[in-house]
Structure 1
Amino acid sequence: MDHPQADEEAEAIRAAPRPPVPQAQAKFVTGSTMRHVVVMTSTGSIGLMAVFAVDLINLWYISHLGDTVATAAVGYASTILFMTTSVCIGIMISAGALCSRALGGRNRPLARRFAASTMVWMLVVTTGVALCSFPFIRPILAGLGATGRTLDLATIYLQITTPTVILIGIGVGFSGVLRAVGDARRAMYVTLSGAIVAAILDPVFILWLGLGVEGAACVVVFSRAALALLGWYGAVRVHGLVARLSIRDALADFIPIIGIAGPAVLANLATPVANSYMTAVLAPFGDGAVAGNAVTGRLVAFCFGGIFSLSGVVGPIFGQNYGAGRLDRVRRTLTDAFIFTTIYALVMWAVLAAGHHGVVRLFNIVDPEAARLIEFFCLFVAGSWIFHGLLFVANASFNNLGFPIASTIFNWGKTTLGTIPFALAGATLWGAEGALAGQGLGAVLFGVIGVWWAYRSLRRLKGPKVGPAPARAASD
């Protein structure tokens, strides 16, 4: 028996308009460039600080066990984790740059395809990093100077956390896509989720269950899983800005992706390599010096998170305006980013200098060598991060405006010529504090040169550079 009314209702349901897929807009090509810099960097820094806050929270709880060896072990392990995280951030920069250029040129299908292709390569690279590094964890730590029980604890920590480089790669990759579309708030929530999980679970695993270093490593696994899940939800489910993953598209897009990701990864690796070198330089001064350096390293990552985030979050502002042919706004963005970075670093330096005694008490530092190193950093060496920051901004412009090789050269120049001779000379003449001072002096030199070279590079820009059109429609 036919039911005309039911048929009419079914037809009306089929004909009803469906909610449209959110359309990405190039929001950075209009409005105040300083406002875009402040909003994107502020939210981005909160997000990236949240990533590093996981290590900071771990170290804080470990330090309250009253075991300098355990604190030093986490310091050694965190040096390696920072290196793998930097690889992921380098690939994230490629995702943000390519997607933002495509959106600036009003080519949403190309942006979706670039996002998907970049995520394929993120999975390939992070899986390779995990598989290749896992068998060599103990030799690497020993090469940095870890010995005895410190070496044993650091090895256990890395054996648990190294496979999760895949998870953090997924999370930061999707956060780069969110920043490319201008959703700074959701990108911040993605990375903030990891810190929230760590803050909740660290006291449970480290203190209440008494698992110590092993518990801290387990918390890293859970925090990175949360990062990956929320990143996928924002980029894929909310914005629909990631096409279906395709090996064929990823291979076809390899050249534009590696053109940015390759130099960006190499550039980002320079900082953790420099940190590894500093750990090796300080190792002869004992576990106290290494523990103090571990605390200063986490302070840098947390307090100066805005500087670390610049290469990822300011990049889309450069990319969209470059893609739209607004070279005047590109230059204004660069200047505004330099101004913002300088003010931000000065404020952080003032806070650390004013609270240097409090930092030592906060981390329950009882070793006198560790305490002296932390206080010296807060009072003097933290000021060098003004120039680290200026170079990070310059590198962001290089990565997103077609000069990625310059970013690699400057970062590795700072890591080698700006770190090794200065730190070695400082350690020889004035001990552990002299090593930190030498590293800071090298940063001043390369920061000044980086600013000059960034403006020089802008004069060479001719017009927009969006990238090749896709050979076929992006997969849905």
Structure 2
Amino acid sequence: MTSKRQVDSARFVHGSTLRHVVVMAGTGAIGLMAVFAVDLANLFYVSLLGDTSVAAAVGFAGTINFFHTAISIGMTIGVSATVARLLGAGQRTKARQVASASLVLMMLVTMVLSAATLLFLDPILNALGAAGETRVLSRSFLMITAPTYVFLSIGMCTAALMRSVGDARRAMTVTLTAAVVTAILDPILIFGFHLGLTGAAISNDIARVALALVGLYGAIRVNDLIGRVRVARLWSNSQPVMKVALPAVLTNLATPVASAYVTHAMASFGAAAVAGQATIDRITPVAFAVIYALTGAVGPIIAQNLGAGRADRIRETVRNSLVFVLLTVALAWIVLALAQGGLIRAFSARGDTAVIITAFCSWLVASYAFVGCQFVANATFNNLDRPLLSTLFNWGRATIGTVPFVAAGMRHGPVGVMIGQAAGNAIFGTMAMLVAYSVVKRLPMGDCAALASKDSNRLEQSVVNVPGAAAGNTVAPDVELKELPARGG
């Protein structure tokens, strides 16, 4: 029974790496597509109200939501990398202890950030350039949705845990649930009960609660990935995760910072330009869900092979991921180019809104090949114990690669803003991928095994030793498995 569990837990150290990338990215993409489809559905339904201010309000609220999501994603990267590495090394007990501590930590961090968002909401909206009716609507929407960020973080954490063990299907189900709930409730609350934007906000809240409940069921009851939470060891069990998570959070925050600057730049051209940017920001995650899923999909594959000392499979995984990115972008480009007319009609786009959608779907969409390169590079850095490189490249793209290029593009209108952003993505995405290849190329088998062994030993000390215990007294590694028996799925 034990050996079967270990084989199931470390499934990425065997078989085709390309197949693992396709399956993990594909199922992760369906799940992410569901999450992003929630935002897209909200925008679609509120756009039917025929008020540009309402669509712009969703855009401003989405920018703030992006910050919270980025922090949660950064923390799940740390959780997934650490837990998958332990599973790859056959240390399931430690993996469960780390998973439970990480879930509690994510909940605490998210609740603090939600409270801070509500406290400083007015200054935040002022900084983004929200004004008039749009500002009032944005504030109203966020007052309803910000308190439920904690449920979103629970769903994201549990889905990441299931990906780390290779249960891609159930991880996908977590996020699909939110999409189904939103698809059902949005038209009912927005039009049936005539609640408008408030109905969209309430729908978001209910979907997040459903997301958390389904995720907890899959992680606890089906995969037995959550051990008993021990407050005395909460910090020591979280330290290995935070080693990766803190740089990953800093890395992920770069993207919403850049997005906030772009939104501020668009605001200077009026509500129609902000609405156009908001539409693009919700189309692209759905169209490129596979690319957005790559960091979470490739990470566990690299981490498990690192734990098993398989540097050859790590190189192969990175190479296959890059090919996958290029093919995905090519396909999405064709689809968006053909569908742009339908998108303009569906979102009732006019003026600058329609111009922005046309420009993006026609040719600017190609820049996402470089965004994909950076996602693959980030997954490589985060799981090969070089997370600061991810931070460096993402912040480089968010500052040097965004501010001067967007400022120059503003002279040519809202489309110029998008061109400037695309240029920065191309430069930094290429640089990040070249450095990632260099890191992987210099990783011989011996160094790979040594790195995994070093982190495993450090993690064992943090998990097994009990702070404040008598000298020489430790807890048996399997103590939590005895206290919380495995559950069937």
Q: Distance in 2 between matches of 1:22 and 1:235?
A: 15
Aligned partner letter, 2:262: M
For 2:361, the equivalent position in structure 1 comes to 378
The answer to whether the aligner puts 1:423 opposite 2:406 as a matched pair is: yes
State the AA in 2 paired with 1:411: N
* SS in structure 1 at match of 2:293: helix
Counterpart amino acid of 1:463? Answer: C
Check 1:108–1:77 CA distance in 2 against 1; reply closer, same or farther (3 A cut).
Answer: same
Name which of 419, 436, 460 aligns with 2:418. 436
Cα distance, 1:25 vs. partner?
2.2
Alignment partner, residue 36 of structure 2: 52
Give the letter aligned to residue 32 of structure 2: L
Aligned partner (choices 282, 289, 308) of residue 324 of structure 1: 308
Matching residue within 355, 358, 379 for 1:396: 379
Matched, 1:126 2:74: no
> How many Å apart are 1:346 and its aligned residue?
1.5
In structure 2, the residue matched to 1:99 is 83
Decide whether aligned partners of structure 1 residues 67 and 243 sit closer, same or farther in structure 2, where only a CA change above 3 A counts.
Answer: same
Give the corresponding residue for 2:469.
none
CA offsets, 1:275-309, max 9 Å, x none? Answer: 11100001010000000000000011211111111
Residue-by-residue CA offset, 1:82-120 (whole Å, 9 max, x unaligned): 211111111111111111101100111011111111112
> Compared with structure 1, are the counterparts of its residues 37 and 19 closer, same or farther at alpha carbon in structure 2 (3 Å cutoff)?
closer
1:392 maps to a residue whose letter is F
* 228, 232, 237: which one aligns with 2:212: 228
The counterpart of 2:287, out of the listed 303, 314, 321, is: 303
> 2:393 aligns to what?
410
What is the correspondence of 1:242-261 to structure 2 with a 5 Å cutoff? 242-261=226-245
Deviation at 1:349, TM superposition (A): 1.5
The aligned counterpart of 2:448 is: 463
Aligned residues: 457
1:457 partner letter: V
Deviation at 1:248, TM superposition (A): 2.4
Distance in 1 between residues matched to 2:284 and 2:235, nearest whole Å: 37
Alignment of 1:110-121 (within 5 A): 110-121=94-105
Task: Please report the RMSD computed on the Cα atoms of aligned residues, expressed in angstroms.
Answer: 1.6
Deviation at 1:460, TM superposition (A): 4.0
Identity within the alignment, %:
45
| Separation (CA, whole Å) in 2 of partners of 1:216 and 1:132 | 23
4+ residue runs over 4 A deviation? 18-24
Q: Taking structure 1 as reference, are residues 263 and 348 closer, same or farther at Cα in structure 2, changes over 3 Å only?
A: same
Counterpart AA for 2:298: V
Matched, 1:294 2:288: no
Residue 157 of structure 1 aligns with which residue?
Answer: 141
Aligned equivalents of 2:72, 2:214: Cα separation in 1: 17
CA distance in 2, matches of 1:37, 1:208: 42
- Whether the 8 Å CA contact 1:194–1:224 is kept in 2: the answer is yes
Equivalent position amino acid for 1:441 in 2: A
TM-score, with normalisation over the residues of structure 1?
0.94
Q: CA deviation at 1:196?
A: 0.6
Give ranges in structure 2 of 5+ residues lacking alignment.
465-474, 485-489
- Conservation of the 8 A alpha-carbon contact between 1:120 and 1:247: no
Report the alpha carbon displacement of residue 328 of structure 1 after superposing the two structures with TM: 0.2
- Distance, in Å, in 2 between the alignment partners of 1:454 and 1:22 is 32
Amino acid at match of 1:382: V
Instruction: Compute the displacement of 1:181 (Å).
Output: 0.5
The 8 Å contact of residues 120 and 246 in structure 1, kept in 2 or not, is answered as no
Gaps of 5+ in 1: 1-17
Q: Which amino acid aligns with 2:163?
A: R
Cα deviations by residue, 1:212-250 (Å, 9 ceiling, x for unpaired)? 111111011011111100100001000111111222222
Structure 1 residue 253, shift from structure 2 partner: 2.5
> SS at 2:448's partner residue?
coil
What secondary structure does 2:268 align onto? helix
Q: Is the 8 A contact 2:315 2:441 kept in 1?
A: no
Matches within 5 A, 1:177-188: 177-188=161-172
Residue 4 of structure 1 is matched in structure 2 by none
For residue 19 of structure 1, report the CA deviation from its aligned partner. Answer: 13
Q: Is the 8 A contact 1:21 1:239 kept in 2?
A: no
Deviations 1:112-153 (A, max 9, x none): 111111112101110111111111112211211110110000
1:74 aligns with: 58
1:340 aligns with 2:324: yes
